């Protein structure tokens, strides 16, 4: 079993248990564009049937909060969902403090593609990834 499949299994399994409202859940395989990191290879998100609430979960959220977190829906229309969330990673693997990372993701309904961007607070650089999503529920 590859690492991505293992991570995906844990994330999707944890998300489905935590997501009890009537919603559609998507599992996205995301490829990092660049070499800086900051984008999880698997992103799981859920949008409720009214398209008024979203939850998101990835490896960084699991490590920091150990449960899905709420995302703010910026756009929900017939073509796309755009949602935003923040992750306050406390320290890196060496114990150094890390900045909060503000994320934005856009999911295109027509081709099931996702684009994810992370903006570390206080820095000019950003992290980007793109991928494909599938409905899991």
**What is the pLDDT at residue 36?**
72
Is the model's pTM score more than 0.75?
Answer: yes
The CA distances from residue 42 to 52, 67, 70, 95, 133, in Å, are 23, 15, 17, 24, 10
pLDDT in tens, 27-75: 999 999 977 788 999 999 999 999 999 999 999 899 889 999 999 999 9
Please indicate whether residue 136 or residue 18 has the higher confidence score (pLDDT): 136
The CA distances from residue 76 to 12, 93, 105, 113, in Å, are 23, 36, 12, 15
In the predicted structure, residue 22 carries a pLDDT above the cut 70: yes
CATH numbers and ranges of domains, the chain: 3-135 (2.40.160)
The closest of 72, 79, 64, 77 to 45, measured between CA atoms, is 72
Helices (H), the chain: 3-18, 59-65
pLDDT in tens, 72-123: 999 999 999 999 999 987 766 677 777 899 999 999 999 999 999 999 988 8
Euclidean distance between CA atoms 78 and 96, whole angstroms: 43
**What is the pLDDT at residue 35?**
74
**What is the pLDDT at residue 12?**
52
**What is the pLDDT at residue 94?**
76
Euclidean distance between CA atoms 84 and 107, whole angstroms: 12
């Amino acid at each position: 079993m590859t690492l991505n499949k293992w991570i995906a299994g844990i994330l999707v399994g944890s998300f489905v248990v935590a997501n009890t409202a009537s919603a559609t859940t998507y599992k996205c395989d995301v490829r990092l564009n660049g070499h800086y990191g900051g984008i999880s290879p698997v992103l799981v998100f859920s949008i409720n049937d009214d398209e008024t609430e979203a939850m998101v979960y990835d490896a960084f959220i699991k490590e920091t909060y150990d449960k899905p977190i709420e995302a703010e829906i910026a756009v929900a229309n017939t073509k796309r969902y755009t949602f935003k969330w923040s992750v306050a990673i406390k320290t890196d693997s060496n114990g150094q403090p890390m900045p909060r990372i503000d994320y934005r993701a856009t999911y295109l309904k027509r081709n099931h593609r996702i684009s994810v961007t992370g903006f570390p607070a206080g820095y000019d650089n950003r992290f980007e990834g793109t991928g494909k999503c599938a409905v899991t529920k």
